[in-house]
A and B are shown apart, each in its own frame.
Chain A
Amino acid sequence: MNEPRPTNERESPAQDRNREAVQFSTFTVAGRLYGIDVRSVQEVTKSLPITNVPLAPIYIHGLINLRGQIATAVSLKDLFELKEPAPPEFMNVVCRLDGFLISLLVDQIGDVIELSSDAFEPTPDTVSSQVAKFMDGIYKTPGNLISIIDVRRVLEVLND
């Protein structure tokens, strides 16, 4: 794991430059660390009242009033089909995409960290496909592996 993979070496310099100094908002779901490109995050808020939407899939917890705008609350735990018990309160990572607001419900909010592309690796095959399909890849940090979530992929699954 510590050796850089050949795939990394083959990546074009342009891509490298693009990946340079990307900042990620980190959070935990069921004890695991995830990250999301800070540019797609509008804000992070504490738990807000949720209006349940009957008939919606289980991972859509409902709708949130975010200062007069309506966001769809998606529980990552349910989306990833993790069986861990839910925390008493969720935190909201609110992302704006195609004019719609999606609030990812997570357990805890972490720091915003800057990661360089050297630390990037594609998602290992062993990661459960229910999680892997939402991931761009992973970043290695000292003592931690951060799974990077792509909000667009989450939206695609919702729209399916």
Chain B
Amino acid sequence: MPENPYLNVLATAALTLLFIVASSFGLGALARGVARLRGATPKQQANTFAGYLFAAPWIVGFLIFVVVPLGFSLYWSFTDYRVTANQPPQWLGFENYQNLLFKDDSFRASIVNTLYLTVIGLPLQMGFALLLAVLLNQKLKGERVFRMAFYLPVILGFNTAVLLCWRLMLNTGTGIINQMWRAAASVPLIGYLLRALIYIQEIFSAFFLGINNGKFNLLTKVIEAGFPAANRVPLWVQSPMWSKMSVILLMIWGCGAMMLIFLAGLNNIPKELHEAAEVDGATGWQRFWKISFPLLTPYIFYNLVVGMINSLQIFEPIFVLYRDNQPLVPSAISMVYYLWQKSFSHFEIGYGSAISWVILVFILIVTVIQFRLQDRWVTYDVY
């Protein structure tokens, strides 16, 4: 292999292509042989060959990059394997899982933090997405431009550069967001509202931090301190009580993907239903809750499932905002961040494998529960 990194990867890519083409034809020929033995017609044999020929890249990749790795990681999760150690992994039984689930405070913190993002962040994200979709659905001129503007954050999304811009804007003292917050807080009524927001957020946050360490003294402190003073601002990336809210802000900013799904749902609602209801004298508010909302529930369900899988896998914002920021790490780390930290900063592959299996099972359970519960609230029969 060439030393130059660019030539090296070009050579590997060429070899990979050769390997894929060879294995495709091999798999195709094998399948055709099996079909011939089973007495298929020449046309069926040709189709079998073509089918496996074209599907082979995925089938081979699935075996190499999914099945085998999952198998190995399942085995390693029961061992003390470290990538730096030279001795073979030692079998530990369920020790990794026991430590992880019952003893590891950091992992428990990461679960609670991730749950905070899911329980508080996801509904906010979906609410804003629905609001924007309803606004766009009014069929005004220039809808396309607005739609683009709302979707652009999804594209920029979790790019490090954009996240660093948020880091600048969220600076507690001189950041633009708090500057505007202060300006808005000097207006009497709005100021009161903003202080109420601070109060509610800190109570929620202190409650979740209380679950983290089993002591709720922070919560009692927040409540005893009473209604926030007039000069209080959010301490976005400075205080453990706000570190997660900053990530939620980013989630809300990226609500454009969900918005598009809702928009598709709103477009699919038959106009006649609204017209008929209008004739019967229903107000816009009633029509939204009695017609649009029930017909939107399949789309809400879709967003809920996908959004939950995404928020359970969140990594980049936490890495960019809080990496190395020791005092904030326990209040901010997500499950995947912890997985990264254990596996690649500490090289504890066995323990990291156990974490990834716990995350995998966790996501599967959550998704299955959602599919089980959908009969109770999702309306599929329209007419």
Pair from one complex: no
